[in-house]
Structure formats: C-alpha cells, structure tokens
Chain A
C-alpha cells in the first residue's frame, strides 16, 4: 500500500473508531493506565491490519514501506491515543529481532509484540555502564545447553511489564570490551530474575533495576553470533533515532499547539515562541529525511546522532516554553491537564540523558562525522 492511500484509509478508520480507541483514563493517567491503553490500541490496530504494514511478511507483517509505520505512530500520537515513548519501543526491538533472531523465533515472537499481547524491554545499561556501553559486566557463561546469566541492569524501561528482554551480556573476558558481548532474548518469567521499579522525578516508575541470579537462557535464544552482541546494539541504536523520533516530533508538535491553544497572549515571549517553532520545523524535516532514507533501504549510521541532538534540544525548548507560559500548570496545578504538563516537563529534562547523552552524541559527531580522530 502506498503512503497516501494508507494515510487516507487510516485516518478514516481512526475517526470511525475514535470512541473505542480513546483512553479510559482522564488526563495523564498512571503508567498502568498508559500500558493498558497501549495494549488496547496495538491490538485494535493490529487486528485491523494497520500495525502490520511496513513489517516483512515473514514475521506476520503485510509488507510495504517503513514510512507506513512512521505515519501510524504519528497519527496515534497526534490524537493522544498512545504515549510516544512507550509506543515507539516496538520500533527499536522488532527490527532487532527480525535482523538477528533465528527466523522461526522472530516469526513466533514479533507478532506478539506488534499486537500488544506482550511487552518487551531492552537490557543494556548497568550501574557501572552508562555512556560507556562496551564496559558492561552482566555475565553469561555456557552451561547445561544454554547460558547462565548473572548480573544487574538498570534504566530498563518497562521491565516490570515485560515478557521478554533483549539483553546484552559479557561473554568474553572483562577486558574484551565490545568484542566480548553477546545479545540474548530472555523470558522475563525465568527463575532468578528480580525487578525493582525506580521512582523517578516525573512520577511514572518507567525505569527499573533488573537483577539476574544464575538465570538459564536456552542457546537458541542467542541473537546473532556469540561475542557479536556489539553489532546487535549498534544496529539497534539508529532505529532508536529514526521512526521513534518521527513519532516524538508529532508529539512535540501537538504539545506546542496546545501551548498556543491554552495560554494568555501576555505570557508568551514572541522571540522564544518563534525560535521553538523554527527548531521543531527543522527537527521534523530532519527526521522526515531520515525516515525516507530508512524506507529506501539505506543503512543508518552516526549521522542519526544529529537527529538525537535535535530532538533533545527541541523537546527541552518546547517544554521550557510550556513552563514559561503555563507556570501554574507545571508548578502548582492539580486539575485537568496540569499533571500531564508537569510530568512531561520533568521528563523532557531526560532528553539530553537517555538514548545516548548529549555529550556522547557530540563525541560521535566529532569522531565519525567530522573525522577529528580519537580523543585519547
């Protein structure tokens, strides 16, 4: 199906089914509410076919360009039907499975993720491993026809809801760095896994600590080759900075329009509003070009670090404007949209931290795009 046809048909379907798609909770809702809403919307869009477009047929998709997925997420986000952060995790995890899992495993598992029957998480960061991902130490050793995993992950989004985890483990020596990492696909109900959600300042316990105590993972759950997990991680990161960012641009556009809808004229600074609008326009144009490159089969690489820098800058600028224009909502409001403005303002502070910090992105830009050589 072509994008234009998809857009028209999907918009019509979303309008027809608006009453059934709308969240049951009012306003922001709890994370439980948001997760229930996400599952509902994924199931409805999967069963109606929309969620299957843009994915290959061998995992239950209906084929077509990845642009169709981009538009679906945009349409759902623009209507406030899903929270874009938790929705877009599919865009990161499904391609990884399709590229690296044994084909029969991908065919069995990916439809469950797309349909919202399952939630998956991504076990990358560790207490001692933030920006320096290659230093991770969560250990996997071969035993009993599988892997035995012991160690700890942190900042694992939605682990408390997750049925599966794409997990990076240390299988080489501690000094092997990026050469000794293996990616595994782990059932989260395996014995030996303990999950502790982390209370964060924006109010939703979205991130977790995950402890692995001698957890058995079957050998056929290895993603890619043994000790080749670094390439799994590196191939996943551009996905985090393509379709997911396109969805986020749609979300920021909606929020900026809501600032305009809500606020009194005299609290908006024209220069600030103008600059935020320009940034959002540029970010969206950048993300659009990246989406088209992805859909055209191009391999995305370090240039997506610029997309991530632009997202972080734009997101913080949009919510700085929201704070300056709707201070009562963000700072003291308890009713109506206030809790959401407050939560989203606070969450925007993390935009320069998650998914590769602002500093790491600039390091990538300096080394890979400007060819400034190594920094040590």
Chain B
C-alpha cells in the first residue's frame, strides 16, 4: 500500500476541507461534552451507558441546541458519537458525526448547505470530481433530485406510504425497494417530509400535519445526512420523548431519562434548523470505499 495516499490521508484531507467550508460560511466550531446525563430519548437508538456517570452522546444535538438558546447563531461540530449494538458495512458503534445548526432558518437552508458542502469537498478531495459508492459515480455539481417520502413510496414500491406504515413495513420497503432505486442515481437525492411519527425532534409541517419538516440526503443509495426544522415547543417535545420511551418499553428496551435542562431552556430556542451527517460515510464516498471499515484507523474487532 502507498502509505502517502492511504484512506487515512483522504480522511484527514476531508476533515480539513469540511472545516474550511464551515469557517468560510461564518460558522463557529464548538466542542460539547461527550459524556452526558441524558440523550434525547429515541425509539430505536440505544446509548452506550457509562455507570454511574451517565451515557455517551448518540449525537451532540442536545448541547448544540442549548447553545442556540444562549444566542449562538451558526455552529458546527465534528465529534465522536456512540450507538450501542450498531455494526454493519455502514455502521460502527463509535463513529464520527458532523452536525451543524442555524438560527433564523428552516430545513430548506440546510438542503442548500448540503449542496454547497458536497460540491466543495468533492472538488477539494477528489481528482475526478465524483463521489463513488457501489457501482455508481455521483456528481454533486449536477442538479440534485428532491422527492417526498410519500412520492418515493408511490414511485418505487408497490404500495403507499400510508399502507407501509399501517402494516409496519416502512423499513423493509425503504431498504429493499427505495434505497436500491436511489442507488442508481448519478446525482445526490434528498428525500423530504417524513411521517411525524418518525421525527422525534422535528417541527410539523404547517400545511400538512401528518408530516414533519425532516429530510435525508442519499448518495448512491446510502443515507448520508438527516436534517430538520427544530421543534421549539417544550411541552410538545416532552410528550414526544415520553412517547418514544413508551415505544422503547414495548420493544423491551430500557426507558431513558429525559434531558431536563434542555427541556427547561427550549422556550428560548429561536426558529432554527440542524443536521447530522455521517463523517465516516462521507469519507467512504470521497475514497470510493465499499465499507466503513476502510476509512477508520482501527475496526472495533481489531482492538
């Protein structure tokens, strides 16, 4: 192997490019604690518990939104996150997340940020100006595709989103039908407007209350980022956390403590939007890696 052109060099180059992008856009780089008493309870995310101190962050969102409440307007962070028992060709229990938040913005600004960021890093970190995943070369400089989750079900599956949710096969259709269809697209695809029940911290769309202002960025059929307009109603947020805990109980998982200081400060959150992007997956895309194992220094199995 040519050690001067290794995956770790590409990763470092990407890290530099991401920082340059956000500094140029006027974002402040922040660092928030990784070990916290409570994450936002989510139905299907299990934190790594650290007894008796608390838990490792599954995402820096709670602390970053509290910074928005204190008056910071544009912030970003590149940090380690942990999600228990998640391991696959695109998953590591310990992984690197890029998150950024904007006040006086909604999810549309985040989609524009994604377009700008992906174009910037692709031109800075690749020689062919393409991202690669599986058999597909993706050009972020071309016009992106936007499609609602509802339309994606109508177009790519034999059923509707409503029926998929009613029969509890959303994930199977997403994995088996929609993502393979998106995998063939030579441009990034943004899936928008997720059902409210799948958006614990997102704001509901004013004109259609069944959907939330949440989107996911797909590149080569791989989920890269998840963004939304932030819910700023503390009472509503508390109810959604409790609902998430009820689902956790039903599936045999432990209930999670609520992040009370966050709930207490949420009333001060200006209209804002935030997004989480899998940094390791972006490193896969710029280096053409097939698995996440190829873009990290050590696999957990090798420690």
A and B co-occur in one complex: no
- Residues of A that sit less than 8 Å from B by CB: none
